[in-house]
Amino acid sequence: MYVGTNSGKVSAWDTRHNTCFMHWEADTSEIGIVVCHAGRLLTGSEGRNLRLCFDEALDMGIVGTSAGTLWYINWGERTSIRLVSGHMNKVNGISMCGPDFLATGADDGSLRVWSIKDREQNLQFQVRDQACTCLTFAPHKQEGTTLTTVSNLEEVPVVAHQTLENRTLPPVAAGYSDGTVRMFDINKVEMVLKMHPHAVSVTAISFSSDGRMILSGGSDGLVAVSSPTTGMTVRIINDHKGAPITNIDVTYTQDQDLGITAPQLWLATSVDRRVSVWSADWSKDFCELVDWLTFPAPAFTPEGAVISKKDQGLYGHLPPSLARFSSEEPDLIVYCGYGMEKELKFYSLSQRKVVRTAALTHWSTCLDVAATSPLIAVGANERLMKLMDYYEGSFQDYIGHNDSVHCVKFSPDSKHLITTSHSEIFIWEVTV
């Protein structure tokens, strides 16, 4: 027996056992008529829609859901197989775990983990009534088990060492529009930690270089430093207060001649074109400001509207301010944002000045620097992804997106580049 409802849903009932074994959304308005004959089902709604569903044997079907998933259903065996998965809402963040796995977060509150090789969704975490605004994997430690083999068949004993790869994935932390940060264990498929370090939406998030802390920035400009083991917020940084945080990046100081003894560096960028650079040693609860960057810009938007300092809403109409540590030259920070010219700026931490620039043809919406190759990826509102040579500034534009490119991310081995355009995810193979 089929039953239509005033919300547009149709349910199928087993009259022998008086149970509903399936239901689906057939329309968006009240269903006023349901006619079933010879494996065909016709529904009519107040929206003046007639919809015909048919299956001669009623033993199988394809069902699409509002979550962006297509399922193959075997009604007789009551089993299902997921065919295709994808985001239905805007993708807000990307994070990579090694060369094999990708995590994405979207406006519908979903956090999905994908296999790069198979292009398939492996698992999904869902938070209702909240948007997943940003996410990050914990640092991936390439640890393994060493297998030692001793052979006494020869005159001299032979010892062989073999390292077995550890396939355990690190946790992923995600920020949400209600100000919460949640940490998920991919291996156990469960949420292991929820904390509330912000009173407003979380706009940027990153683990520290050693994984001891989670750095998160909010739309009010506050940066919170929280412990992923205890869930407690140990430090609040208010230097950017009043200007939403656009990105957070981390690195090790390595052998840089900066006069810094702490082993780690991290930076935070806000929409008002300010970048703060910090040194840290989280094992000693040490964190201090080492540099403060401010980049000039015209007093009007690209469209010509005058920018008022009191109108914070105008920042949303400006190209975002973004900064990344350089992997090619550890002394440099790569910056892009609204300014006098469309360009990338390369700022030297040791010289305390911009040492060179690279011209752009469009205002950038997102930025990433490859870890193992001299490449920079830049996205634009014009539906272009630009791949630039780090040293020469030459570039190649790539098309194919149906909307603004708002996320770009290189894989750790720089062999893949992930881009997003609204709900679409593109995986590019990079050959240098």
257 within a domain of the structure (yes/no):
no
Q: Which amino acid is at 90?
A: K
Question: Is residue 211 within 8 Å of residue 138, measured between CB atoms?
Answer: yes
* Non-local CB neighbours of 253 within 8 Å, separated by 6+ positions: 260, 262, 263, 264, 265, 279, 330
Using CA atoms of 64, 65, 70, 73 in order, give the dihedral in degrees to the nearest 10.
-70
DSSP string, 12-67: EEETTTTEEEEEEE--SS-EEEEEEETTEEEEEETTS-EEEEE-SS-S-EEEE-TT
As a whole number, mean pLDDT of residues 381-400 equals 94
Which alpha helices (H) appear in 145-301, and where do they start and end?
Answer: none
What tokens appear for 408 in the block? 């770009």
Q: Which pLDDT score is estimated for 48? A: 81
Please determine, for residue 166, whether its predicted confidence score (pLDDT) is greater than 80: no
| Residue 187 contacts residue 202 (beta carbons within 8 Å) | no
Mention every residue, 6+ apart, whose C-beta is less than 8 A from residue 297: 273, 318, 337, 338, 339, 340
Parent domain of 36: 2-84
**Residue range 290-315: mean pLDDT, rounded:** 80
Q: Is the pLDDT of residue 274 over 90?
A: yes
Mean pLDDT of the chain: 87
Give per-residue pLDDT as tens, 168-205: 899 999 999 999 999 999 999 999 999 999 999 999 99
Considering the domain boundaries, does residue 290 fall inside one?
no
Residues 220-246 pLDDT 10s = 999 999 999 999 999 999 999 999 999
Summarised one tens digit per residue, pLDDT across range 49-102 is 877 776 656 566 777 776 677 777 776 777 777 767 788 899 999 999 988 999
What mean pLDDT is predicted for residues 374-391? 95
Q: What is the pTM of this model?
A: 0.79
pLDDT band with cut points at 50, 70 and 90 for residue 425: very high
3-state secondary structure of 283: helix
Q: 10 in a domain, yes or no? A: yes
Domain annotation covers residue 11: yes
Q: Domains in the chain: how many in total?
A: 1
Q: Looking at the predicted structure, is the pLDDT value of residue 349 above 70?
A: yes
Is the confidence at residue 131, as pLDDT, over 50?
Answer: yes
Answer yes or no: is 47 within a domain.
Answer: yes
| Domain CATH code at residue 59 | 2.40.10
Any domain includes 61: yes
Q: How far apart are CA 39 and CA 42, in angstroms?
A: 10
Does residue 379 lie within any of the structural domains? no
- Rounded mean pLDDT of 368-396? 95
Which residues 6+ apart lie within 8 Å of 53 measured at CB? 26, 40, 41, 42, 43
CA distances from 114 to 46, 102, 136, 354, 412 (A): 40, 5, 14, 38, 16
- Residue 145: pLDDT above 50? no
Distance CA 324, CA 265 (A): 11
% of residues, the chain, pLDDT over 70: 87
| Residue 66 maps to a domain | yes
